[in-house]
Structure 1
């Protein structure tokens, strides 16, 4: 399946150069363009959009404004890749959970690296041997937890809640640290910018009129999935 992308940049030549680079990547389908921030926001309404390339300086909304708006909505997708002639906004951009930050002129190898990060996030995580255990820092100890026993994790106020089959642990991690520790083990999916669930612990999916959904987990917890995550779940079940 191709990766569907859109480009938002107020300079048509810049959009053209990026389109030329993307056309050489093979599995990329460009499904939209925008020349200002308002139009970029409208592109995000497409549930099939996987990646939005955003320039920083645009009329109406800046690229950072659009990224902040998406973060506030809590949608997992589209992933944001910032493309800018200026590197001084990188820290602010990563605080808004963008996938990557590219500086102009874009080098093909650097673009490929950013797309590989997206591919890793977009592809379903395969199942793994049931005996894999993850070490979780808890108080002054390291607790070994079988990955298949983890129902869901949720990041809030600087703490990661990890719900297992028999306990809930609060650890000083963020979601990125949890994903890195997973190392591809288990069948997990990110349903929002704050929450990851184990598909084997999912009991029911209740669709909402807004296009989001409420997931009922086997432990009874109800968690909200973003529109993009809901769309992906429909393809898995």
Structure 2
């Protein structure tokens, strides 16, 4: 792309604007970094992240002016990472989502007035986004951003839309497969067939997902992100990147001293935390 299509750098005395790129694909990070160097050479890419959790940590440590977040990343998704970043004390940066979703899903971002880039990122579209970011950030570093409450509402709308798309519930997306009826899980040396209606909750660690019933626990290798679309969304809600709860087993929703929501399970002592990404599910709690 010719130099004339780039974005000007502002005052010569102003410190350069700084960016973080988060994507689990190294080649895509490098491609975006290269194209940013072409259309916005004054922008300094100070760090890269391979997943959502790493993006949150680096955003907290470095406080970049712009964070480019891939939507689909292991662990925290881009949407979930954005919510965590927006919650950082005195956060003053801008967030841009990078997504491979089609135009139908992109409407969720447009309606929410959020910045996004569609993969593969085209230089002309990237230049337009860069120009908008420069305009909002400005040399004074006092961005004219949406108020925090509006940003959070916009993210909630996008998250809900994308979750519906994932589950095949949007109009025109085709018929959704029948929800999972039985879970084949391991308990010690025994393989058990568990009726999903008997499951109180699912909870994951790095290797396994625990299937908890009133009587016992068992384990499966299916991660939460793959389990969610197989379950009936009217019965099971994901409340954390590592937890899904059976709504019929919920006895109460409480808040701790920090304002975090907690889900209490009927007939079971374990209490499940609701992450900020899913707090909108229990707005009245």
TM-score when scaled to structure 1? Answer: 0.51
Aligned-residue offset at 1:186 = 4.7
* Equivalence for 1:98: 77
In structure 1, distance between residues paired with 2:180 and 2:164:
23
More contact order relative to length (CA 8 Å, sep ≥ 6): 1
> 1:203-232 CA deviation, whole Å, 9 max, x = no partner?
122212433122211122111111232332
Aligned-residue offset at 1:56 = 5.7
Q: Could you list the runs of 4 or more consecutive aligned residues of structure 1 that deviate by over 4 angstroms after TM superposition? A: 35-38, 55-63, 69-72, 113-118, 139-142
In structure 1, distance between residues paired with 2:7 and 2:52:
21
* Equivalence for 1:133: 181
Aligned-residue offset at 1:144 = 3.0
The 3 A distance-change label for structure 1 pair 115 and 98 is farther
The 3 A distance-change label for structure 1 pair 70 and 232 is farther
* Equivalence for 1:213: 261
Asked if residue 121 in structure 1 is aligned to residue 169 in structure 2, the reply is: no
Comparing both structures, which one devotes a greater share of its residues to strand? Answer: 1
Return 5+ residue gaps in structure 2 as ranges. Answer: 1-5, 9-16, 22-30, 34-42, 58-67, 79-96, 109-157, 170-178
Considering only aligned residues, what root-mean-square deviation do their CA atoms show, in Å?
4.3
> 1:49-86 CA deviation, whole Å, 9 max, x = no partner?
xxxxxx964746656378334677xxxxxxx9628xxx
In structure 1, distance between residues paired with 2:276 and 2:73:
22
* Equivalence for 1:151: 200
In structure 2, distance between residues paired with 1:61 and 1:122:
35
